[in-house]
């Protein structure tokens, strides 16, 4: 079972590194959107500092949302998804491997580039760590919950709007607590509550989302 997880994870990572332009897309999107705000609104430190947590979190969320398509689309189109479902291994484990690969390729780069964008947006030094930690706890949830939506819409042509409608309401709690944590940390207050909430949501998503995704994939395949 662990072997199946590892093999699928390494296959997806290998495939991603063979088409690098796709790999860079979410990261470039994230950086571009954040850098456009000072140009469009105001480059003054006071304005940017107020906007920073929201802008960075919204950009990260949209960047993950745009990359979700990649999660199952290719496997669905070339028939590999059928083979995964016909594997003697539990589908939940395989789903988890695919989501892990997705997070490593989209969420993790966002977490790593976030300090740079934070400084760029005048986020105080003491809040940079919180920004990274909130993204580290939040982006896996975005990938896990997004997988449920993708597995339901992968068979729909141009299912992008439908996907957003299904997924965005579920993303909102993560967005509120993530952005709020950075905001509160900028004012020098404790963010324990927000972090514990994000961690709890991550634990919940990690245990339930793969199950829901596996069921949704079976429904998609049965049509």
Partner 1 sequence: MLDSDPTKITMLETRQLECVRDDRLLFSDLSLTLSAGEILQIEGANGSGKTSLLRILCGLRLADEGEVLWQGESVSDVREDYYENMIYIGHLPCIKGDLTTLENIRSLLDTRSQSAPIEEIDVALAKVGLAGFDDVAAKALSSGQRRRILLAFLLLARAKLWIMDEPLTALDVQGVALVESMLMEHREAGGSAIFTTHHGMKLPCEMSSVTLGNGTGGLEC
| Window 82 to 111, contacts with partner 1 (CB under 8 A) | 82-89, 94
CB of 162 to partner 1, least distance (A): 20
Q: Which residues of 137-159 are buried (b: 16+ CB within 10 A; e: fewer)?
A: bbbbbbbbbbbbbbbbbbeeeeb
Using CA atoms, how far apart are residues 112 and 83, in angstroms rounded to an integer?
Answer: 34
44, 71, 78, 112: residue in contact with partner 1 (rule CB under 8 A): 78
Q: Is the CB of residue 220 less than 8 Å from the CB of residue 152? A: yes
Using CA atoms, how far apart are residues 144 and 138, in angstroms rounded to an integer?
Answer: 10
Q: Does 20 bind partner 1 (CB under 8 A)?
A: no
| Window 27 to 56, contacts with partner 1 (CB under 8 A) | none
Q: Which tokens go with 221?
A: 């395949």
Binding segment for partner 1 (CB under 8 A), chosen from 35-43, 47-55, 70-78, 152-160, is 70-78
Q: Does 18 bind partner 1 (CB under 8 A)?
A: yes
Q: How many residues does the chain have?
A: 223
Q: Is the CB of residue 62 less than 8 Å from the CB of residue 33? A: yes
For residues 82 and 126, which CB has a smaller minimum distance to partner 1 in the complex?
A: 82
42, 77, 193, 208: residue in contact with partner 1 (rule CB under 8 A): 77
- At residue 27's C-alpha, the angle toward residues 109 and 92, to 5°, is 60
Binding segment for partner 1 (CB under 8 A), chosen from 12-20, 40-48, 60-68, 186-194, is 12-20
Q: Does 11 bind partner 1 (CB under 8 A)?
A: yes
For residues 96 and 185, which CB has a smaller minimum distance to partner 1 in the complex?
A: 96
- For partner 1, the binding residues (CB under 8 A) are 3-4, 7-8, 11, 14-15, 18-19, 74, 77-80, 82-89, 94, 221-223
């Amino acid at each position: 079972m662990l072997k199946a997880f590892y093999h699928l994870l390494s296959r997806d990572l290998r495939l991603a590194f063979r088409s690098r332009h796709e790999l860079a897309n979410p990261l470039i999107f994230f950086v571009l959107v954040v850098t456009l705000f000072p140009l469009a609104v105001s480059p003054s430190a006071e304005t940017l500092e107020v906007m920073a947590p929201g802008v960075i979190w919204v950009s990260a969320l949209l960047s993950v949302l745009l990359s979700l398509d990649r999660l199952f689309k290719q496997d669905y189109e070339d028939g590999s998804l059928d083979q995964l479902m016909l594997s003697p291994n539990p589908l939940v484990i395989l789903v988890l491997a695919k989501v892990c690969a997705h997070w490593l390729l989209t969420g993790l780069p966002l977490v790593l580039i976030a300090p740079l964008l934070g400084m760029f947006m005048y986020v105080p030094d003491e809040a940079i760590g919180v920004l990274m930690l909130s993204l580290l706890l939040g982006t896996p949830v975005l990938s896990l919950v997004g997988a449920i939506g993708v597995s339901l819409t992968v068979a729909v042509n141009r299912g992008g709007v439908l996907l957003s409608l299904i997924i965005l309401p579920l993303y909102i709690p993560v967005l509120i607590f993530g952005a709020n944590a950075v905001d509160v940390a900028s004012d020098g207050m404790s963010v324990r509550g927000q972090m514990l909430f994000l961690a709890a949501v991550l634990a919940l998503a990690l245990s339930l989302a793969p199950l829901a995704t596996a069921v949704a994939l079976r429904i998609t395949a049965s049509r």
